């Protein structure tokens, strides 16, 4: 009986695949120009789904927990850009910048900074500096960081001046450590010292050049708001993990309790966004590449090409980090067995906190790209969360390659499916696809090994 049903399932699955491929092939042959347009639309939408799926896969495959805040992070990313740019873009008509919101985020950032300082510096310096002095200095520095975050939010018209130099310094530091990591194993002691000097000189030059370019370019404020929004969403995700999820994981081993808690967070943040921004859809400012150009009869926007490139760059960066860095090895160890990872000396709390930060930053970026392509609304995060999850199921839950493949495949199938239907059927098609994969390919196209 089991063999019979397995054969029947394979037959039905084969028929479905052949039907989908035949339909797309027929459409390509009958109207190649329109097929090119639908294909490009599918790839641009699929890039957003892929970013959501990549971040979701990173978090889920590490802690095996379906964090619903991930959807709220996408909405926070999009609304963060609107919050920072609405006054200038709309000529001061929409006064959305409020001290309460600025103070809340400043407190969150200060708390995250205090925890980061405590976990990274306290253990190393407590033998040299008295603990009370160390805590006081750490508290003061955390307050300074929180006050700086509040100032950035309070004066969005000066974002390029307030945040531009910090972004340039962060980029320079990333370049320095990337250069050291890339060549440290290839050079001897003397060559390593020379490389360190060269990398430090290049990082300093980059910081000066990029900082001056950002400060002197008011047009950079829109793109700096992307970075600020992703950092804020990531900080909230880290704060939720350290302040709530860690305690719940220690006191209760049931994933259902954490799922319900994250659902409450998603609903609370969605309601808060509705209170601050109202429930009406809001557009974001036009970014670069908003004017379409024609290729093969299809209208293609440069910004959509950027979204596709962003998905691939994020995938490659995360793949390199997970495969060839000590942090990546620690993440994979925690995903295989967190208890064993803790026994062998891995600070699982810190590693998982970083994972939550990075994953929610991916979600925020997906929300930003989606917001520039369509109007934003308070409950947009829930739909993007579900699309990211469907993409993960299609590609293979827990597989980074599958997340990328599933995102683009879902976007293309959605677009071709609504060729002869109204656009409202797009979400129906996505959930039908989910049901089919759960029925016939529950492991996805690229199962986790």
Q: Give the number of other Cβ atoms within 10 Å of residue 298's Cβ.
A: 18
Note the pLDDT of residue 6.
58
CA distance 168 to 173: 9
Q: 207: exposed, middle or buried (C-beta count within 10 Å: 0-12, 13-18, 19+)?
A: buried
Q: Which two tokens stand for residue 277?
A: 């921004």
Note the pLDDT of residue 92.
57
Give the H or E element holding residue 223: helix 221-240
Note the pLDDT of residue 264.
87
Q: 157: exposed, middle or buried (C-beta count within 10 Å: 0-12, 13-18, 19+)?
A: middle
Residues of the chain with pLDDT under 50: 1-5, 185, 188
Q: Are 47 and 369 in contact (CB under 8 A)?
A: yes
Note the pLDDT of residue 192.
57
Note the pLDDT of residue 361.
92
pTM of the model: 0.88
318, 265, 218: which is closest to 70 by C-alpha? 265
Sign of the alpha-carbon torsion through 205, 321, 353, 138: negative
| Chain CA centroid to CA 181, Å | 24
CA-CA distances (angstroms) from residue 361 to 230, 233, 248?
Answer: 5, 6, 23
* CA end-to-end span of the chain: 29
Q: Which two tokens stand for residue 6?
A: 């397995």
Note the pLDDT of residue 93.
58
Note the pLDDT of residue 368.
94
Note the pLDDT of residue 364.
94
282, 283, 171: which is closest to 224 by C-alpha? 171
């Amino acid at each position: 009986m089991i063999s019979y049903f397995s054969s029947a399932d394979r037959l039905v699955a084969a028929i479905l695949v052949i039907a989908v491929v035949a339909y797309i092939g027929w459409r390509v042959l009958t109207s190649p120009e329109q097929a090119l347009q639908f294909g490009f639309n599918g790839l641009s939408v699929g890039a957003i789904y892929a970013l959501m799926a990549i971040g979701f896969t990173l978090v889920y495959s590490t802690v095996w927990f379906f964090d619903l805040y991930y959807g709220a992070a996408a909405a926070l990313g999009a609304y963060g850009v609107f919050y920072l740019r609405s006054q200038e873009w709309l000529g001061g008509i929409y006064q959305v910048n409020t001290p309460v919101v600025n103070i809340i985020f400043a407190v969150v950032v200060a708390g995250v900074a205090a925890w980061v300082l405590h976990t990274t510096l306290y253990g190393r310096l407590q033998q040299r500096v008295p603990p009370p002095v160390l805590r006081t200095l750490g508290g003061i520095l955390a307050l300074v960081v929180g006050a700086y975050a509040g100032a950035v939010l309070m004066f969005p018209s000066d974002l390029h001046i307030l945040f531009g130099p910090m972004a340039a310094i962060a980029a320079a530091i990333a370049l320095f450590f990337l250069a050291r990591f890339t060549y440290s194993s290839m050079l001897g002691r003397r060559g390593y010292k020379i490389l360190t000097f060269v990398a430090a000189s290049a990082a300093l030059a980059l910081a000066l050049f990029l900082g001056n370019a950002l400060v002197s370019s008011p047009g950079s404020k829109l793109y700096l708001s992307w970075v600020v929004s992703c950092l804020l969403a990531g900080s909230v995700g880290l704060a939720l993990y350290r302040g709530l999820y860690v305690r719940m994981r220690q006191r209760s081993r049931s994933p259902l309790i954490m799922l319900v808690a994250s659902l409450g967070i998603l609903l609370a943040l969605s309601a808060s966004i509705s209170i601050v921004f109202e429930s009406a859809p809001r557009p974001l400012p036009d970014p670069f590449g908003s004017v379409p150009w024609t290729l093969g009869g299809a209208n293609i926007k440069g910004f959509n090409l950027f979204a596709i490139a962003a998905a691939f760059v994020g995938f490659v960066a995360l793949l390199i980090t997970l495969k060839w860095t000590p942090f990546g090895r620690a993440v994979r160890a925690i995903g295989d067995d967190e208890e064993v990872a803790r026994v062998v000396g891995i600070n699982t709390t810190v590693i998982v906190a970083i994972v939550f930060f990075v994953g929610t930053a991916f979600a925020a970026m997906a929300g930003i790209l989606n917001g520039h392509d369509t109007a934003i609304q308070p409950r947009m995060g829930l739909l993007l969360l579900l699309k990211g999850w469907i993409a993960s199921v299609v590609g293979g839950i827990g597989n980074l390659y599958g997340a990328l493949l599933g995102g683009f495949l879902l976007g293309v199938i959605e677009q071709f499916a609504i060729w002869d239907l109204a656009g409202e059927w797009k979400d129906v098609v996505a959930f039908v696809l989910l049901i089919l994969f759960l029925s016939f390919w529950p492991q996805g196209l690229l199962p986790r090994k």
